[in-house]
Amino acid sequence: MTVILIGYMGSGKSAIGKKIAKKSKINLVDLDDYIEENEGMSITEIFEKKGEVYFRKKEREYLKQLLETETNKIVSLGGGTPCYGDNMEMILKATPYVFYLKASVDTLYKRLKKRKDQRPLIKNIDNADLSEFIRKHLFERNFYYMQSHHIVNVDGKSRKKIAKKVIKKLS
């Protein structure tokens, strides 16, 4: 069984993925970590040195690798992964367990403003403009996210509660 977690950056994909992995005893693969390991550079370095087009090509290549392996796993995707090329189509065909961790703009803003330096797409955006950026970006990506098999609202919920909700849908 492959479980896919998608959602906007800051929605909790990695954190929730860790909780689910621990509870269900299924390995977690964070796609960004997988890319960094295989490329020998951080995501930020890849964006700076090789550009977003290169990153998106490699992202698709590594996603395909992960989806084609047979083992049980939880895969936490980058926020933009489902929104490029035929990635979402490939994801939906690979497993019936695609979960969109849906967070409001307010929740995302509160989480992201604290960690902008670690996020190449928003690190140069002023906090005053960040909320509007998230709103527009989320609107553009929502088309892809809403195709998920399962939508889990994360606003105001603990990681433990969200993980339990996902695990319940797996059984």
**pTM of the entire structure?**
0.92
Q: Report the CATH number that the domain containing residue 58 is assigned in CATH.
A: 3.40.50.300
**Structure confidence at residue 137 (pLDDT):** 92
Structural domain includes residue 126: yes
119 is in an annotated binding site: yes
Residue 171, domain member (yes or no): no
Look-up of token digits 């998230």: 134
Q: Is 156 known as a binding-site position?
A: no
Q: Containing H/E element for 102?
A: strand 98-102
Examine residue 32 and state whether it is found in any structural domain, yes or no: yes
| Whole-number pLDDT of residue 31 | 95
**Which DSSP state fits 100?**
E
Percentage of residues in the chain having pLDDT higher than 90? 79
Q: In terms of residue numbers, what domain contains 74?
A: 2-164
15 is in an annotated binding site: yes
For tokens 């395909």, what's the residue?
64
79 annotated as ligand-binding: yes
- Given a contact cutoff of 8 angstroms between Cβ atoms, the answer to whether 150 and 99 are in contact is yes
Distance between alpha carbon 4 and the CA centroid of its chain, in Å? 9
Angle 62-25-63 (CA atoms, 0-180°, nearest 5)? Answer: 10
Q: What is the pLDDT of residue 99?
A: 97
Residue from 159, 56, 166 nearest 100 by CA: 166
SS3 74: strand
Would the pLDDT of 6 be above 80? yes
